[in-house]
């Protein structure tokens, strides 16, 4: 009889970490890690686990990556930055496409199309600040793979201290770049986000507030870059 009570007590005590481990497993986390935590910290481990983001949910994984990259503390969205990215990820996704064109002295550049509309034309239409500039697309080899310029790793001299990638360049009569449209690129697991567009002229940045953030499906984005590389190879 005493043995039965002891066995029932052991089973009851083991049920607590078992539930904790199972809950962790269904939320994309290690069963055995949380089983051990539930064994030595019953109740506390459950409370911590409930507060952590669900790793099995792709949206939560995106938010967790954003929190890590921006050095944000806490387990739930709290800052304005997080709220903004969360809203962007749920917003409309855009399509991106590249095509080659000839610019100065026969040089080849990569024209950017968003939702089948020229991105440069969209910018010039929406932002009055750009009216006095004649922008041209970037060199095609700066955009196509293996370059990571449009994957969040700006290439000199098309970058600045804030790691913004240039996407269009204005040159003077001597062919010297004097102004650039730059953007901050956030590569995520499933999405690529362009945000915080600025006009940089003579080392001074002016925000382009009328130009909204763009969110792309990462797979479609990468395919567009690869397609540009294929065009260049065939040319």
Please list the residues that pair with 195 across neighbouring strands.
184
pLDDT at 63: 63
Q: Which residues contact 210 (CB under 8 A, 6 or more apart)?
A: 126, 127, 128
Interatomic CA distance for residues 169 and 128, integer angstroms? 17
Could you tell me if 217 and 88 are in contact, meaning their C-beta atoms sit under 8 angstroms apart?
no
pLDDT at 50: 67
pLDDT at 92: 82
Interatomic CA distance for residues 19 and 47, integer angstroms? 12
pLDDT at 155: 86
DSSP secondary structure code for residue 62 in this structure: H
**pLDDT tens-digit series, residues 208-229:** 999 999 999 999 999 998 887 7
**What residues of the chain score a pLDDT lower than 70?**
1-15, 38, 40-43, 45-46, 49-50, 52-82, 104-106, 230-235
pLDDT at 118: 93
What are the residue ranges of helices labelled H in the chain? 2-26, 31-40, 44-51, 58-69, 80-90, 119-126, 140-143, 218-234
């Amino acid at each position: 009889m005493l043995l039965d009570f002891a066995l029932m007590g052991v089973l009851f005590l083991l049920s607590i970490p078992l539930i904790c481990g199972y809950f962790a497993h269904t939320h994309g986390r290690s069963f055995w890690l949380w089983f051990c935590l539930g064994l030595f910290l019953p109740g506390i481990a459950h409370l911590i686990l409930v507060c952590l983001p669900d790793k099995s949910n792709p949206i939560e994984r995106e938010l967790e990556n954003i929190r890590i990259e921006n050095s944000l503390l806490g387990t739930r969205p709290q800052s304005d930055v997080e709220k903004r990215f969360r809203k962007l990820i749920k917003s409309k996704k855009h399509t991106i496409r590249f095509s080659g064109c000839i610019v100065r002295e026969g040089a080849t550049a990569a024209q950017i199309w968003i939702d089948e509309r020229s991105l440069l034309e969209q910018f010039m239409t929406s932002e009055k600040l750009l009216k006095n500039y004649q922008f041209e697309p970037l060199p095609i080899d700066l955009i196509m793979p293996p370059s990571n310029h449009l994957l969040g790793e700006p290439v000199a001299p098309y970058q600045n201290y804030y790691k913004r990638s240039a996407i269009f360049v204005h040159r003077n009569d001597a062919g010297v770049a004097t102004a650039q449209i730059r953007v901050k690129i956030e590569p995520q697991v499933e999405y690529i986000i362009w945000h915080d567009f600025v006009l940089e002229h003579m080392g001074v940045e002016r925000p382009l507030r009328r130009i909204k953030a763009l969110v792309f499906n990462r797979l479609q984005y990468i395919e567009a870059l690869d397609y540009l590389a294929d065009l260049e190879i065939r040319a």
